[in-house]
């Protein structure tokens, strides 16, 4: 993908605040490019990819990229983990089995990558020659 000069490439600390920061900065880019109509899908994709990177490399640097070309918008997240992204089994939840304790508040998911695959025109990952991967 050939990017334009207004590509957003942002190093972020892998923390709980990272998805919100990416959503805020993405909104202005999408509006500027005339892609406001896809903002809900783009926000969800960015949030899911960043949440996975935060889980893989907590407290480390991750990178968020939002760029465009003639084919559309690219959203990608880099993390330093050498492991490939894996779809976790989806946990069927019921109110009596849902664990909302502080130490397990986000362990009830497994839907992130399937959501990304459903919303994106394409998805996958690419190893970075300098280490880590782009998803």
How does pLDDT run across 61-104, given as a tens digit for each residue?
999 999 998 888 999 999 999 988 877 766 666 767 666 676 65
Q: Cα(57)–Cα(61) distance, rounded to whole angstroms?
A: 8
pTM score, two decimals? 0.80
Q: Once rounded to an integer, what is the mean pLDDT over residues 17-25?
A: 91
Q: Residue 52 corresponds to which tokens in the numbers above?
A: 């996975």
What pLDDT does 19 receive? 92
Which of 58, 70, 50, 51 is CA-nearest to residue 10? 50
């Amino acid at each position: 993908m050939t990017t334009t000069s207004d590509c957003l490439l942002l190093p972020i600390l892998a923390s709980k605040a990272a998805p919100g920061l990416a959503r805020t900065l993405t909104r202005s880019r999408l509006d500027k490019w005339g892609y406001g109509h896809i903002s809900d899908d783009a926000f969800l994709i960015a949030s899911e990819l960043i949440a996975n990177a935060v889980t893989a490399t907590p407290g480390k640097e991750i990178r968020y990229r939002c760029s465009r070309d003639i084919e559309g918008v690219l959203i990608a997240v880099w993390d330093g983990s050498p492991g490939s992204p894996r779809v976790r089994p989806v946990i069927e939840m019921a109110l009596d089995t849902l664990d909302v304790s502080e130490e397990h508040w986000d362990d009830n998911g497994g839907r992130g990558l399937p959501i990304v695959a459903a919303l994106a025109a394409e998805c996958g990952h690419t190893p970075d020659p300098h280490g880590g991967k782009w998803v």
